[in-house]
Structure formats: structure tokens, C-alpha cells
């Protein structure tokens, strides 16, 4: 599911006030430092060394509770009458993150009746990936440590090698489709009900030099590919749409907001869903799974 970014600190504090939520220390800090117009990036995200107060309340953070209350996972869970919501999403993550955390979540619960679960997977932009970062643990301790997974957005990389090797449509396509097949196969094997969205990215024209699909976003990168790639990708897409549970029945129809125009569901000059957009997504997703 989506993490639900783009909201400012002020937006979320207003939501918290309207819902009569208790105010944590982060709110006082934001008001004191006049950061109401800054975009919220999550607990401990984008926090400078001289801002130790922000995000320290962790699970009881007013900003987090307010954000969760207006994003589509919460809204959809209510429409479905779900007993409990497990939201594994994080900002700026990759398809690999979605697959890894989803599989790990269920590996810890193999002794449960997994048919009680329903999984919604929103595959992020395929021009992202994650890697095992041991440098972070080395900085914390000269003897090293366990390290941790780190995410990388190709568009934000300072390495021209990264951009050259991974900044193209063919890599984005294969990265997304391979991860759909991996997580879809795991969920099918364990009889877990699931729906996957590529955000409307169809990849139908990758390989013939044109853009493919009516995706949520279009970035700048090389088209790449060849006619042979085009035919292989076409067969792969047909296989996925035949054998995996894709929201709306096909990748290109899996756009979360359906046919509602982009500008009506997005935060102006940002690109993330607005509060209204999250409501539209929840209602559209609920309709699609009931169809």
C-alpha cells in the first residue's frame, strides 16, 4: 500500500485537531520552529542532527496517527470491515522492499490460517531498488554490525554508472514484473487472497521506443529495448495478467484512482494523493475487488 506522503506538518496537525487527537512533542517543536509548511517525511525521516526532538515519540506520534487516519489503507480497511490493519509501507521504497517485507510478514505466521488475510500491494516506481548497507553499521561501531537495507532512487543517484545501467524503461519494466511474479507466486502458494496494482503502468510499448501504459507518473529516462525485448515483455505481461490477481484485471487498469483525472486526486504541485484522493482510491479499490 501507499505510505501517503506529500502532506505538510500543518496539514496533519489540522487533521489531528479536527479529530481531537492528543498532541505529542513533535507538534510543539514544529510550532516553535515554524515548520508548519514543511512536508512531513515520516518519523525520523529527514531529521537533521540539530532536530533531535522530531520523531522521537515513535508509535504515538500525532503526525503519524493523523497521516494514517486520512490515507487509503485506513479508509479501505473500514470499507472491508477488517478486524486489523497491518500497514508495511514506508516512504521512498522499492518493489524489492514490497516483496521482501510481504514475504517476511507471512513467514512469521505460517502456523496461522492465512486465508483470513487479504493483501493489497501497490508496486512502487520500478526505477528504485534496495541494497544491503554495511557502511551504516561500520559508522556506528568500528567492529561493524548487522547493517540494514537501504533504498536507492535511480533519479536521485549521483553515480552516472547507476543512471546509465538502471535508468531506462526496460530495467523499470523487468524490475516491476519480476517482483510481481515473485510475490504473487508466494501468495498463491499459501492461498492468501491478494490484489496487485502497478499504478496503471502497462509497459505495453517498452521495447519499441514508445512509452507504455497510463501510469501515475512518467519520469525522464531512456526508452531502450528492441523488438525481441518487446515480444518477450508482451508474453510476460500476458502471463502475469492470466495467472496473477491484478487489480482491475490488467496492469493498465490497475490505476488506483480509476479514471478520475490526475489533478482531481493529487496535492497541487506535489504528485502525492490528497486527502480526497485517498478517499477516491479507497472507494475505487473496494469497487474493483467486489466486481
What CATH number is given to the structural domain containing 213? 3.40.50
Which of 62, 86, 102 finishes a domain? Answer: 62
Q: Classify each residue of 75-103 as buried b or exposed e, where b means 16 or more C-beta atoms within 10 Å of its C-beta.
A: bbbeebeeeeeeebbebbbbbbbbbbebe
Residue 70 has which C-alpha cell? 486520512
Statement to judge: residues 54 and 76 lie in one domain: no
pLDDT of residue 54: 63
Statement to judge: residues 136 and 37 lie in one domain: no
Three-state DSSP class for residue 110: coil
Statement to judge: residues 214 and 271 lie in one domain: yes
DSSP 8-state class, residue 267: -
pLDDT of residue 218: 41
Q: What is the mean pLDDT of residues 90-114?
A: 94
pLDDT of residue 150: 87
Statement to judge: residues 185 and 280 lie in one domain: yes
Tell me the pTM: 0.84
Range of the domain at 15: 1-62
Which of 23, 39, 62 finishes a domain? Answer: 62
Statement to judge: residues 83 and 53 lie in one domain: no
Statement to judge: residues 134 and 276 lie in one domain: yes
Nearest to 36 by CA among 7, 57, 3, 65: 7
pLDDT of residue 217: 42
Statement to judge: residues 212 and 168 lie in one domain: yes
Q: What is the mean pLDDT of residues 138-147?
A: 58
Give the integer Cα–Cα distance in Å for 212 and 221. 13
Statement to judge: residues 94 and 187 lie in one domain: yes
Residue 194 has pLDDT above 50, yes or no: yes
Other Cβ atoms less than 10 A from the Cβ of 64: the count is: 19
- DSSP run (H or E) holding 78: helix 72-80
Which of 24, 44, 62 finishes a domain? Answer: 62
Statement to judge: residues 37 and 120 lie in one domain: no
Block residue for cell numbers 496473477: 244
Statement to judge: residues 115 and 16 lie in one domain: no
CB 5 within 8 A of CB 68: no
Nearest to 11 by CA among 67, 56, 53: 67
CB 95 within 8 A of CB 179: yes
Q: How many domains, the chain?
A: 2
Residue 148 has pLDDT above 80, yes or no: yes
Residue 216 has pLDDT above 90, yes or no: no
CB 202 within 8 A of CB 212: yes
Statement to judge: residues 284 and 212 lie in one domain: yes
Statement to judge: residues 38 and 108 lie in one domain: no
Least confident stretch, 63-72, 156-165, 190-199: 156-165
Positive or negative torsion for Cα 154, 64, 118, 75: negative
Beta strands in 33-145 (DSSP E): 118-122, 128-133
Burial of 159 (0-12, 13-18, 19+ CB in 10 A): exposed
From the centroid of its chain, how far is CA 202? 17
Amino acid at each position: 500500500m501507499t505510505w501517503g506522503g506529500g502532506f505538510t506538518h500543518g496539514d496533519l496537525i489540522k487533521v489531528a485537531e479536527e479529530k481531537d487527537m492528543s498532541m505529542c512533542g513533535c507538534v510543539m517543536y514544529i510550532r516553535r520552529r515554524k515548520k508548519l509548511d514543511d512536508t512531513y517525511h515520516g518519523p525520523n525521516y529527514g531529521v537533521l542532527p540539530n532536530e533531535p526532538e522530531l520523531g522521537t515519540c515513535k508509535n504515538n506520534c500525532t503526525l503519524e496517527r493523523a497521516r494514517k487516519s486520512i490515507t487509503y489503507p485506513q479508509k479501505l480497511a473500514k470499507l472491508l470491515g477488517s478486524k486489523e490493519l497491518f500497514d508495511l509501507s514506508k516512504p521512498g521504497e522499492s518493489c524489492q522492499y514490497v516483496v521482501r517485507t510481504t514475504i517476511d510478514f507471512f513467514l512469521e505466521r505460517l502456523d496461522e490460517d492465512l486465508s483470513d488475510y487479504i493483501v493489497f500491494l501497490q508496486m512502487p516506481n520500478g526505477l528504485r531498488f534496495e541494497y544491503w548497507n554495511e557502511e551504516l553499521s561500520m559508522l556506528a561501531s568500528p567492529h561493524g554490525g548487522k547493517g540494514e537495507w537501504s533504498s536507492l532512487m535511480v533519479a536521485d543517484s549521483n553515480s552516472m554508472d547507476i543512471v546509465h545501467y538502471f535508468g531506462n524503461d526496460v530495467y523499470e519494466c523487468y524490475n516491476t514484473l519480476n517482483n510481481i511474479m515473485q510475490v504473487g507466486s508466494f501468495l498463491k502458494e499459501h492461498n492468501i487472497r491478494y490484489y496487485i496494482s502497478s499504478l496503471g503502468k502497462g509497459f505495453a510499448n517498452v521495447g519499441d521506443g514508445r512509452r507504455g501504459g497510463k501510469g501515475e507518473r512518467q519520469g525522464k529516462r531512456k526508452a531502450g529495448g528492441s523488438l525481441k525485448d518487446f515480444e518477450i515483455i508482451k508474453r510476460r505481461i500476458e502471463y502475469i495478467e492470466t495467472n496473477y490477481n491484478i487489480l482491475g484485471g490488467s496492469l493498465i487498469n490497475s490505476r488506483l484512482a480509476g479514471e478520475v483525472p490526475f489533478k482531481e486526486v493529487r496535492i497541487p504541485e506535489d504528485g502525492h494523493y490528497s486527502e480526497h484522493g485517498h478517499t477516491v482510491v479507497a472507494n475505487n479499490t473496494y469497487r474493483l475487488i467486489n466486481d
